[in-house]
């Protein structure tokens, strides 16, 4: 890869806008498209979405589980889709929410390596085995020029059960954000004191400048933003727009006008299929809404 993920994401957003479209071929959606819940239906669905949108949007986000459920042939569909999407200019964020320790985490992160058969641009990861558990993925991302989005403050109904729990004077979610902020600070490693906010240049929102390659996942449907994203230095992945109730106004309310936010829409775009032109129209409508 010629540049770190943060640079490539900034370039893609500058060229195409910030919209990220999920590729979520779950059984009811396949049926709605008139396709079977089998590998053939999976392939036809995925090919249609990639062909329609990979040349239009900044980021495509396939949900790994919907391909894994079809076994090795499903993973072959995913592998082919990733390669074709990237060849068409879209960045690919693999939504797999991996989280483990040691060599296992290292193995999960291999998809960030350019020589991997299913090389992707970025990966979603879970920090709930401790911030240090993700260090192998951080190391791989730095070496390979890949990116990570770490679950921090999600908007599923019972997320606060863990994410709002106190760790000293901070919430678990805030510890995650602060850890990611450290990753975007040169020379910082887990175990060091957290970098002083005043010493960190906050590049988030400055899409025309260098942006850190490590971001957090914060739901667009939160009632209030209860984590401090100051000095994050990387992007925020904001799922929940459309069918889950989130709106562009919620993005502005939660994150303000100057933060690097990658809004994610899945069902509201995919429901427009299987007609490719309708998929492009739905994505363009969301892009226009987000640009206001």
Query: Mind telling me the catalytic residues?
Result: 97
Strand partners, 60: 21, 92
Nearest to 280 by CA among 91, 55, 34, 60: 55
Q: What angle do CA 65, 22, 29 make, to 5 degrees?
A: 70
CB atoms within 10 A of CB 148: 27
- Say if residue 274 is preceded by a cis peptide, omega within 30 of 0: yes
Strand duo 170-171 + 166-167: pairing: antiparallel
Nearest to 243 by CA among 284, 291, 216, 282: 282
How many whole angstroms separate alpha carbon 139 and alpha carbon 213?
12
How many whole angstroms separate alpha carbon 286 and alpha carbon 278?
12
Q: Which parts of 133-191 are beta strand (E)? A: 147-153, 166-167, 170-171
Strand partners, 263: 238
Q: Are 164 and 226 in contact (CB under 8 A)?
A: yes
Q: Are 111 and 120 in contact (CB under 8 A)?
A: yes
How many whole angstroms separate alpha carbon 27 and alpha carbon 68?
13
Nearest to 276 by CA among 34, 58, 46, 84: 46
């Amino acid at each position: 890869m010629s540049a770190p993920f943060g640079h490539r994401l900034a370039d893609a957003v500058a060229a195409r806008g910030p919209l990220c479209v999920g590729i979520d071929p779950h059984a009811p959606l396949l049926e709605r498209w008139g396709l079977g819940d089998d590998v053939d239906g999976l392939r036809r669905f995925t090919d249609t979405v990639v062909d329609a949108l990979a040349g239009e949007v900044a980021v495509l986000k396939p949900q790994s589980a919907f391909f894994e459920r079809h076994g090795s042939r499903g993973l072959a569909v995913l592998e082919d889709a990733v390669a074709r999407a990237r060849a068409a200019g879209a960045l690919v964020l693999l939504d797999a929410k991996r989280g483990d320790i040691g060599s296992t985490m290292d193995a999960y992160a291999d998809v960030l390596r350019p020589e991997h058969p299913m090389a992707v641009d970025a990966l979603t990861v879970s920090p709930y085995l401790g911030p240090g558990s993700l260090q192998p993925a951080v190391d791989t991302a730095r070496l390979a020029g890949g990116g990570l989005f770490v679950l921090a403050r999600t908007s599923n109904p019972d997320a606060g059960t863990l994410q709002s729990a106190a760790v000293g004077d901070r919430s678990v979610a805030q510890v995650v954000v602060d850890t990611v902020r450290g990753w975007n600070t040169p020379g910082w490693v887990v175990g060091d004191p957290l970098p002083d906010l005043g010493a960190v240049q906050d590049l988030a929102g400055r899409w025309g400048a260098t942006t850190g390659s490590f971001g957090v996942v914060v739901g667009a449907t939160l009632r209030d933003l209860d984590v401090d994203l100051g000095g994050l230095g990387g992007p925020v992945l904001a799922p929940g727009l459309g069918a889950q109730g989130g709106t562009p106004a919620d993005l502005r309310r939660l994150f303000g006008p100057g933060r690097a936010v990658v809004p994610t829409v899945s069902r509201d775009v995919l429901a427009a299929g299987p007609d490719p032109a309708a998929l492009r129209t739905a994505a363009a409508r969301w892009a226009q809404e987000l640009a206001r």
